[in-house]
Amino acid sequence: MTATDEFARLGAPLESSTSPALKFEVLARCSTTKARASRMHLPHYTAHTPMFMPVGTMGTIKGITTGQLERLDCHVILGNTYHLGSQPGPELLEKAGGLHKFMAWNRGLLTDSGGFQMVSLLKLANITEEGVEFENPHDGKLMMLTPEMSIGLQNAIGADIMMQLDDVVSSLTTGPRVEEAMWRSLRWLDRGIKAHKRPTEQNLFPIVQGGLDERLRTLSAQELVKREAPGYAIGGLSGGEAKGSFWRMVSLSTDILPTTKPRYCMGVGYAEDLVVCSALGVDMYDCVFPTRTARFGNALVRTGSLALRQGKYRDDHTPIDPDCDCPTCAQFTRAYLHTSATKETTGCHLITVHNIAFQMRLMRDIRTAIVEDRYPQFVRCFVQTRFGKTVPRWVVEALQSVNIDLTVADESGYSATAVDGDFQKEPNV
């Protein structure tokens, strides 16, 4: 199913917003949770949300062509401003007519600001009011990335959606540094808005910050709403914080951000996170996890993740997922993939194709369930398949906050017991 026919039978939008380079239409709402299904018109493509965006750091997803991504029905993919700014560089990208033409991708593109890489990957990163000072990994010279430079690079790249440069702090950081970063990010946003040269062709999304502090998150979101951006991101999470804190910050943010604008939760890609955060009102996600874990031989299925490099798959002549219609599952067995996973580029490629297909199918199923107003039933079925009778406490509590109580038996008799622990260690069998 493609984006051209998925919502064809739906009527007029329930609500919408129009910005110079983005039109967002809410087409259906879950009557129980905060989930909604929407159409997002971008300069290069009309995407459907909730959606997952694979990460193509340097304008490519390792081992996958743009044609394959189209056939897998990816609507938007991510590029990394820091890496693209280093190579191939803004001058070459401008000569090529932007990253879309350079990489032969006719659908949506989103670029991050480059700030996270400055702080997390580089030596001697120093944040000042001017910007982020860092040591260039190529020649060792000190360089400065300012909000204006970040926007300039992203204008050259030409993505449909650009992210503001924010003052990045770990989600585990507490104390005055968190508040300092939140207010500085707002000031940097205002500088970025002034520097934005292509507002009718590209969208600048601000980022909700504030760590795990409810007061700061609230202030940040309220201040961002005043800027009347085309869409908003929820940042500063997925950095090792307890999942109980994670979902509360997400839900707090979606309660404040406008219902007529897209909401993007940055760095989220685990299947249970996508299902829960969609119930909390999030529309967009990205994460390196599905493609990175494929390169370690891990294939995603609804019960969890299959480590195909393990010996138990040596004689398993079934596809990764019998219900999956991706090219990998249609042609190759777990036994074949076991022989090549982590050893041959072919195995990495085939598992990557499957994992992207898995994410796209999950998001289509989420959208369909919202449109048909059966999202609570979909959630319960997903949770039962993934976890069985014992479910991480954060999942139970997050869903209870939007009126899905897994501890109460449904018509099939299924109910769950909340257990401590944020992540699933083994696939549910």
Helix, coil or strand: residue 391: strand
Q: State the catalytic residue, choosing from 112, 166, 167, 283.
A: 112
Considering only CA atoms, which of 278, 303, 251, 265 is closest in space to residue 365? 278
Structure tokens at 337: 């993939």
Structure tokens at 269: 């890609």
Q: Give residue 197's identity as a one-letter amino acid code.
A: K
Q: How far apart are CA 424 and CA 427, in angstroms?
A: 7
CA distances from 66 to 105, 106, 220, 356 (A): 6, 9, 36, 13
User: What does the buried/exposed string (b/e) look like for 306-334 if buried means 16 or more CB atoms within 10 Å of the residue's CB?
Assistant: bbbbeeebeebeebbbeebebebbeebbb
Residues 23 and 16: beta-carbon distance below 8 Å: yes
Q: State the catalytic residue, choosing from 73, 166, 286, 321.
A: 286
φ, ψ for residue 276, nearest 5 deg: -70, -45
The answer to whether 73 is a known catalytic residue is no
CA dihedral 318, 319, 324, 326 (to 10 degrees): -150
The answer to whether 112 is a known catalytic residue is yes
Q: Which residues are catalytic?
A: 112, 286
